[in-house]
Amino acid sequence: MCNEFARQKQLADAIAEFDKRALPLFGWRDGLVPNLDAQPQVRIRDTAVVVRLREGRLEGDAVTWAWPGPRGAPVFNFRSEGRDFSHNDRVLVLADAFFEYTAPQAKGVKLKDRHRFTLAGEDWFWIAGIVKEGCFTLLTTEPGPDVKPFHDRQIVTFAPLAGMDWLTLARPERDLLRPGPPGTLAVRTLRKDGVDLV
């Protein structure tokens, strides 16, 4: 399951791109601009930027990742299949990479291999999420061909313009909450220190 993602892009640069891409006007919840620089590692219980649609405007907010589950474990990923999110607080999470880990391929190495996924042809993307109890979780689906060699689930990602459909439900949820075709995501395998292995 995805327990780490990144947002290297500065918020001011991302917001400027919203306008270039003809996305709705952007503002901050309650007019308060969070003090969030680039986040090369966002992990469970960290605060990250989410975006909602409110009265025709995109509204940014700084929200904690993962609410406490019934047994105390954090709910950081949430299975999307068979659920209706039309009455949920739907959000988009701003990111430019997410990570999955697998057993190390090299003999004698204890650390897991780290795989960095980005959206092919874009320098940022959205992750589908919902907010509950003041925290957000990332929605997952069956793995597409780009993720399947690395994990049995994947988070739902959208290209910059496609994310609006999640906020408005302009298309049926079953069409939105699914993996992309082959080549949608680019992957690099990294060592623990972030250096490419392949």
pLDDT reported for residue 198: 47
The alpha carbon dihedral of 131, 69, 81, 162 has a sign of: positive
Q: Which two structure tokens, joined as six digits, stand for 175?
A: 């069409």
As to burial, measured by CB atoms within 10 angstroms (0-12 exposed, 13-18 middle, 19+ buried), residue 176 is buried
- Which pLDDT value is given to residue 15? 80
DSSP track, 62-126: EEEE-EE-TTS-EE-EEE-TT---TTSEEEEEEESEEEEEE--SSTT--SPEEEEEEETT-S-EE
- Bigger pLDDT: 140 vs 55: 140
pLDDT band at 108 (very low <50, low <70, confident <90, very high): low
Residue type, position 134, single letter: G
* Residues in a beta bridge with 114: 101, 190
Give all strands of the β-sheet with 113-119 in edge-to-edge order.
Answer: 39-43, 4-7, 97-102, 113-119, 185-190
Q: Which amino acid is at 50?
A: V
In terms of Cβ atoms closer than 10 Å to its own Cβ (0-12, 13-18, 19+), residue 5 is: buried
Residue 12: is its pLDDT beyond 90? no
Note the pTM of the prediction, 2 decimals.
0.91
The reported pLDDT for the residue numbered 133 is 94
Per-position b or e across 68-93, b if 16+ CB within 10 A of its CB = eeeeeebbbbbebeeeebeeeebbbb
Whole-number mean pLDDT of the chain?
90
